[in-house]
Amino acid sequence: MKLTIIGTGYVGLVTGTCFAEVGHQVICVDNDASKVKKLQAGGIPIYEPGLEEMVKKNVAAGRLRFTTSTAEGVEQSDVIFIAVPTPPQPDGAVDLSFIEKVAREIASAMTSYKIVVDKSTVPVKTGDQVAETIKRYCKAKVEFDVVSNPEFLREGFAVDDLMHPDRIVVGVKSQRPVAAMKEVYEPFKAPIIVTDINSAELIKHASNSFLALKISYINAISVICEATGANVNEVANGMGMDARIGRRFLDASLGFGGSCFPKDLSAFVKISEQVGYDFGLLKEVQKINAEQMNRFVKKISETLWVLKDKTIG
């Protein structure tokens, strides 16, 4: 199939490259001309195991190319994926300005039916806003479908996660885009969950929040273990052998960080507040996560006395 990915950040570049790897014709769009030039030459701005080699291979094979033109990508593809940043605002809400800008650009370039897929992590009901924006700014007044297709990639394992996914979530309002979405993902041989757009959008935030909860839970257990002389690893192993719980994400640590969990957790708390629910459980997860780092700092301060000019790793 002919696919366009708008945004060549972490999600966009990995997604576009893996789509090309399984045989699709892929155009990746970015408004940074120097970045596009570098990518077309096979250089990548991020490190992800196996990605650079895969980019070079598919550029050379003619299945993957890069451009600064959204219009070119829209005109030459059947399915357009939006994979632009959704950074947090100071209050924890998500900044959707990049999504809106891209939706307008897609609308302006559309002259025939297109499937517009939201790959970025967005609050529930964003799909409705994208559809309204495209409808408002599409001068050709052609038909289109908006689809939610959240990503579930881990940094350091993104290529493997996309090539061998646990599941693929597709949120739609009508059945018209379903066959095309199944064709896009057929080479990956993974279960495809077809649901409504709101549910698909919520699945991403609910999944990441639950994983963060597991991390904070075992970190809270580690405090009890330390106070009682129990071994947190043994406790985690015993818990994890229960199929209802599972062992993954039950490793006591400094807590969660990175670009996804903190942002997604704050966003989900904000989303919950906006619909009238005080998600106290997730607020406690955030609190435990912050306290875990403070405990670590206290421990090393007591052990090393003076931390200034010391390197800890």
| For range 86-97, the mean pLDDT | 94
DSSP state at residue 189: -
> Residue 91's domain is classified under what CATH number?
3.40.50.720
Residues ≥6 apart with Cβ < 8 Å to 255:
215, 216, 219, 288, 289, 290, 292, 293
Domain assignment present for residue 263? The answer is yes
Q: Phi and psi of 116, rounded to 5°?
A: -105, 120
Question: At which residue do the structure tokens 């045989």 appear?
Answer: 23
CA dist., res. 14 & res. 277, Å (int): 35
Tokens of 283: 């607020």
pTM above 0.85, yes or no: yes
Q: Are residues 276 and 250 in the same domain?
A: yes
Specify the amino acid at residue 231. Answer: N
The count of structural domains within the chain is 2
Domain enclosing residue 90, as ranges: 2-190
Q: Are residues 66 and 137 in the same domain?
A: yes
* Structure confidence by residue, pLDDT tens digits, 226-270: 999 999 999 999 999 999 999 999 999 999 998 889 999 999 999
Question: Catalytic residues, which ones?
Answer: 260
Q: Does position 81 have pLDDT exceeding 70, yes or no?
A: yes
Q: Please state whether beta strands 2-6 and 168-172 pair in parallel, antiparallel, or not at all (unpaired).
A: unpaired
Report how far apart, in Å, the C-alpha atoms of 301 and of each of 216, 229, 254 are: 23, 22, 15
